[in-house]
Amino acid sequence: MASIEERAIHRLNDGIWSLERDSIAVESVLSIDIKSPSKLERWVSILRTPGNDEALIRGLIHSEGVMTENADFQIVLGETSATILVADESYHIAARGRISNGSACGICGRQDFSDLLNMAHQCELSQFNIDNEIIVNLPNSMKESQVAFSSTGGIHAAALFTSEGEMLLMMEDIGRHNAVDKVIGQAIISDIEMHNCILCLSGRIGSELVLKAAAAKISVIIAVGAASSMAIDLAREAGITLYGFTRDGSSVSYNRPIAQ
């Protein structure tokens, strides 16, 4: 399934409507089941931009703590569905409540918020130095690779960088948290150690994105948009350094360690 499709639109310019074709970001349901030797059960149905579905699922599994680190499982992909085949019953899908959500929020609808941070690995507060020029230029470096956004204007992006500013990988999705899951999942597939990496975001920093970064042991987040109050609080607890409003040569740090 394509991630972009052409649709007929009417465009208003200088008071005149004209019929044109435009590129539209595809939003499609992906239903994910877990099949063990004894049962088959629905885990989650999400809205996402098709493409890199295995990375998305692996990132979501990691962020949610569904499997143990050495769990034996396979992912069978369909166009609108996927099945995770597990060798035994060593998985748990109710730790934070089953998810059934759209593409806007990664923690909306959960049954229990009390132990959100406990589900993630705590990071050591980032002590590696990041040059100021690298901080302000990362979003521009990411934007140069945002092909889907350039075509549609409706796609979020997330990217993983080294502390020297080298982009390791970048993913796009209509859901900002899906883009992060795709990045984390692809890093796992590619055996990339994330603890000394920077997560760059095209939008705001929400609490759900901080939790995903913490679960992946990512200790620095740089974003084009602002951070929410809960994101700042969770980042401080997890030891994650946040940089927001990173654009036009400037940035805001919400918890920059003195060692930097």
- Whole-number CA gyration radius for the chain: 19
Neighbours of 205 (CB within 10 A): 28
Task: Retrieve residue 232's tokens.
Answer: 């700042």
Annotated catalytic, 108? no
Question: Whole-angstrom Cα distance, residue 106 to residue 61?
Answer: 13
Q: Among candidates 28, 27, 31, which has minimal Cα distance to 83?
A: 31
Neighbours of 253 (CB within 10 A): 16
Give the angle 73-77-82 at the CA atoms, nearest 5°. 75
Question: Whole-angstrom Cα distance, residue 90 to residue 95?
Answer: 13
- CA atoms 213, 214, 215, 219: torsion sign: positive
Question: Whole-angstrom Cα distance, residue 147 to residue 186?
Answer: 18
Q: Which of the following is catalytic: 105, 108, 123, 200?
A: 105
Residue 197, CA atoms < 13 Å, CB-side half-sphere? 23
Catalytic residues: 105
